[in-house]
Amino acid sequence: MEKKMKNSIQKNSQIKLFTLTLFLITFLVQTKIVAQNLEMKKNSQFESRVHTDSNNEQTVRDRFWLFAVPANSDYPHIKRRSVMTPAEGACYLDIPNIIMVQAGKDNGEQAYGKFESPLSQYMVALRPLKRVVWSVVGSAGFYSPEETREILKIAETSSNFYGIMLDDFFTGNKEGQRAKLSIEEFTDIHKQLKQINKNYKVLATVYNDQLDLPLDDYFKMIDVVTFWTMNFDDLENMGSNMKKLKSVAPHAKIMLGCYFIDYGKNKGVPVPLMKKQCETGLRWIREGKIDGMIFLANTTMDIGLESVEWTRNWIKEVGDTPIPGKHSPDDRGGF
């Protein structure tokens, strides 16, 4: 009898152990499934956050960007000290988007200001902003493979990361080295970026005197062209130049670059010309001809330029203007 009881107790213990083991296995499997679902949901939400389609934006302010560089890095060009940081510049203009552009080395800018590693630390001050772009090719064509790797890491973790910038990217040559990166190098970076998030954008600087260059192979991988007129006498040709740009990069969105300072003359852009740039850009945004406007730069915003103060007040006046309904490519009309 005692032996039977012992066998019964042992059998019951084995059943309980088996039941407990089965319960634990089931619990772990279910936990893993839930975790995977949460991760998939998180990734989906992340991708949704980083892809901000311009058609979903509500106001003109959403289309404004600051072209930002390290504080005081413009000193070699303007010979005036600036202490304004990129985040302070975006706050001062009250605009939600920023392009972080590394200072040039060959032109002496890095001696006065440089974004230092780890670059991810700069993202803390940029968390309140809607969209952040980082340059993999910076001022004067500066390129660092190490910094590019850091930026791609930022792209994996930052919810307001929007894309990469190629500043001073094209050399002006029709043959030989046409850009700071070979087409193979650019293709590799482009591939890595799109593997992280297919909706991330590639932005590139194009000047009005570069519209006749053979760059079709590069333009095919550029999502947004930021268009700049260096010589202010050429602002009279903004419309025809924009039309020409659209013909050489038909698939790309366009953002109009606006300088606060005439670097050639080392003086602020006259207010009438600043007004022309801004009002023309605003009209083109409303008409769906361009995607946005970029103001350059934080290093020229605390040195007493009238062009800066006029623009700041203008943004206050027009920033909350609603964006009209969606424009299709067919109803954009001519410039």
Quick check: 41 pLDDT over 50? no
Same domain, 111 and 7: no
User: Which whole number is the average pLDDT over 32-40?
Assistant: 51
Look-up: residue for tokens 């004067």?
140
Is residue 148 one of the residues assigned to a domain? yes
Q: What is the pLDDT of residue 324?
A: 77
Same domain, 149 and 275: yes
Q: What is the pLDDT of residue 231?
A: 85
Query: Residues 262, 68, 235, 223: what is their CA dihedral angle, to the nearest 10 degrees?
Result: 150
User: Which whole number is the average pLDDT over 122-132?
Assistant: 98
Q: What is the DSSP letter of 121?
A: G
Give the residue, 202 or 39, on which the prediction is more confident: 202
Q: What is the CATH number of the domain that holds 204?
A: 3.20.20.60
Q: What is the pLDDT of residue 66?
A: 98
To the nearest whole percent, how much of the chain has pLDDT over 90?
76
Q: How many domains does the chain have?
A: 2
pLDDT bucket at 21, cuts 50 / 70 / 90: low
CA–CA separation, 148 and 132 (whole Å): 15
Is residue 328 one of the residues assigned to a domain? no
Average pLDDT score over the chain = 88
Residues of the domain holding 36: 1-49
Same domain, 149 and 186: yes
For residue 331 the two structure tokens come to 């109803």
Is residue 334 one of the residues assigned to a domain? no
For residue 194 the two structure tokens come to 């799109």
* Residues 60 and 321 sit within 8 Å (Cβ to Cβ): yes
Residue 291 phi, psi dihedral angles, 5° rounding: -95, -20
Helices and strands in the chain, H and E counts: 10, 10
Same domain, 116 and 229: yes
Same domain, 72 and 6: no
Same domain, 23 and 127: no
pTM for this model (two decimals) = 0.83
3-class state of residue 65 by DSSP: strand
Same domain, 3 and 122: no
Quick check: 294 pLDDT over 70? yes
pLDDT bucket at 33, cuts 50 / 70 / 90: low
Same domain, 161 and 263: yes
Same domain, 127 and 9: no
User: Which whole number is the average pLDDT over 108-125?
Assistant: 98
